[in-house]
C-alpha cells in the first residue's frame, strides 16, 4: 500500500472535491444570510419602494378614472408603470420605470462596495482563503449573493405596484401585461447588476470601504443625475441638429446626437423600459435617411407583440450585459492578482 493511498482516503478526496467545486455556493449562502439580516436591506427596500409609490400616488386619480371608462383595455395595467404626471406647475413627475431607473442602481452599489475590502479590513480574508475553496469562489459567491438580493428587492417592489393597481384602482392585468412586467423585471435586474459589478470592482481596487462607497455613490450621482445633461450638452456642441440648413443634414445630426446620448447607460435603460412596457412604441432608433424618416411618419399606430418589443430592445440588453461583464471581469482579474497577507 502506497503512502498516497494511506494519506488520502477516497471519502476525503470526494468530500474535498465536492467542497472545492461548490465553494461559491457556501460563500453566497453566508453573504445572503448577512444581507437579509442587515439594516441596509431594510433601508434600500424602503427607499426603492418609495421611489415606485411616489409616481403612482400622483397618477392614481387619472388611472382610476381610466379604469372606469376603458375597462378591459390590454395596456391599461401597464399604465401603472409608464404613466407620468404633469401638473400645472410644469414640473413633470417621471413614470415608475423612470424612478426605478434612477434609484435602483443604489442596490447594486450598496451590496457591492464593501464586499471585498471589508474582509481585508476585518482581517478575515486570509482565514477565508485558507478554507478548501478556490480563490475565485469568494468573488463569485459575493456577486451571486448580491444579485439574489437585487432580485428579491425588485420582485417585492413589482408586487407592491401590481397590488396597488389591482386592489386600490381595480385594474386587472391581462396575461400579456403580466409577461411584459416580468420581462421588464428581468431587464431591470440586468440594469442593476451592472452597478453591482461596478461596486464589486470598487471594492477590489479601493482598500477602504468608506472611500469605495464615496466613489460609487459619486459616480451614481454624476451619471444618473447629471449624466444626461452633460452628454446632452456635448451632443449639442458636436451635433447641433437644430441649426441644420437642410433636412438631410438635420437627420444626420439628429442620429449622431442620439448616439452620443446613448453613451449614458441610463438612456439605454429608459429606452428599453419604454419599449417593453408600452406596446405602442414601435421603434427607438433614429431615422438615418430621408426615406426612413418618411416611413416613420407614415406608420399606422399599432400595438406590438411582446416578442417584437423584445427584438427592439435586444441591442440595449446586449450593451448593458457587455458593460456588466466588463466590470466583473476587471474585478475578477484584479482580485485574483492581489496578494493576501496573513
Tens digits of per-residue pLDDT, 69-96?
545 555 677 888 887 766 655 566 778 8
**Whole-number Å distance between alpha carbons of 110 and 24:** 20
Q: Is residue 225 part of a domain?
A: no
Q: Is residue 170 part of a domain?
A: yes
Is 210 strand, coil or helix?
A: helix
Yes or no: say if 48 and 150 are a contact pair by the CB < 8 Å rule: no
Q: Is residue 34 part of a domain?
A: yes
Closest C-alpha among 62, 120, 53 to residue 86: 62
Number of domains in the chain: 1
DSSP state letters, 17-37 = HHHHHTHHHHHHHHHHHHHHT
State pTM to two decimals.
0.82
Q: Is residue 28 part of a domain?
A: yes
pLDDT in the model for residue 244? 58
Q: Is residue 7 part of a domain?
A: no
Mean pLDDT, range 279-299, rounded to an integer = 59
Q: Is residue 257 part of a domain?
A: no
With cell 434600500, the residue in question is 44
Q: Is residue 58 part of a domain?
A: yes
pLDDT in the model for residue 198? 95
pLDDT in the model for residue 320? 93
Domain with 113 in it: 23-208+324-337
Closest C-alpha among 198, 186, 102, 202 to residue 150: 186
Q: Is residue 179 part of a domain?
A: yes
Amino acid at each position: 500500500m502506497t503512502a498516497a493511498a494511506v494519506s488520502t482516503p477516497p471519502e476525503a478526496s470526494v468530500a474535498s472535491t465536492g467542497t472545492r467545486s461548490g465553494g461559491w455556493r457556501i460563500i453566497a449562502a453566508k453573504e445572503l444570510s448577512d444581507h437579509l439580516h442587515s439594516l441596509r436591506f431594510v433601508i434600500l427596500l424602503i427607499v426603492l419602494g418609495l421611489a415606485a409609490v411616489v409616481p403612482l400616488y400622483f397618477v392614481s386619480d387619472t388611472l382610476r378614472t381610466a379604469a372606469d371608462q376603458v375597462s378591459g383595455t390590454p395596456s391599461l395595467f401597464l399604465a401603472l408603470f409608464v404613466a407620468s404626471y404633469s401638473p400645472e406647475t410644469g414640473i413633470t413627475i417621471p413614470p415608475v420605470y423612470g424612478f426605478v431607473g434612477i434609484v435602483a442602481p443604489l442596490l447594486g452599489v450598496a451590496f457591492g462596495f464593501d464586499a471585498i475590502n471589508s474582509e481585508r479590513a476585518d482581517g478575515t480574508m486570509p482565514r477565508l482563503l485558507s478554507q478548501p475553496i478556490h480563490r475565485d469562489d469568494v468573488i463569485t459567491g459575493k456577486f451571486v449573493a448580491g444579485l439574489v438580493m437585487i432580485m428579491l428587492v425588485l420582485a417585492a417592489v413589482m408586487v407592491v405596484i401590481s397590488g396597488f393597481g389591482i386592489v386600490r384602482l381595480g385594474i386587472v392585468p391581462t396575461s400579456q401585461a403580466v409577461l411584459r412586467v416580468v420581462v421588464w423585471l428581468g431587464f431591470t435586474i440586468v440594469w442593476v447588476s451592472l452597478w453591482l459589478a461596478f461596486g464589486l470592482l470598487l471594492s477590489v481596487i479601493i482598500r477602504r470601504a468608506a472611500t469605495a462607497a464615496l466613489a460609487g455613490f459619486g459616480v451614481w450621482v454624476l451619471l444618473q443625475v447629471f449624466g444626461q445633461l452633460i452628454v446632452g450638452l456635448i451632443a449639442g456642441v458636436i451635433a447641433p441638429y437644430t441649426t441644420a440648413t437642410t433636412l438631410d443634414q438635420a437627420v444626420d445630426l439628429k442620429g449622431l446626437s442620439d448616439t452620443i446620448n446613448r453613451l449614458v447607460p441610463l438612456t439605454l435603460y429608459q429606452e428599453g423600459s419604454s419599449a417593453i412596457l408600452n406596446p405602442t412604441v414601435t421603434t427607438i432608433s433614429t431615422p438615418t435617411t430621408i426615406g426612413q424618416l418618411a416611413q416613420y411618419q407614415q406608420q399606422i399606430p399599432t400595438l406590438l407583440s411582446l416578442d417584437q418589443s423584445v427584438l427592439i430592445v435586444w441591442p440595449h440588453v446586449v450593451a448593458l450585459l457587455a458593460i456588466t461583464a466588463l466590470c466583473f471581469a476587471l474585478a475578477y482579474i484584479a482580485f485574483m492578482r492581489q496578494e493576501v497577507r496573513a
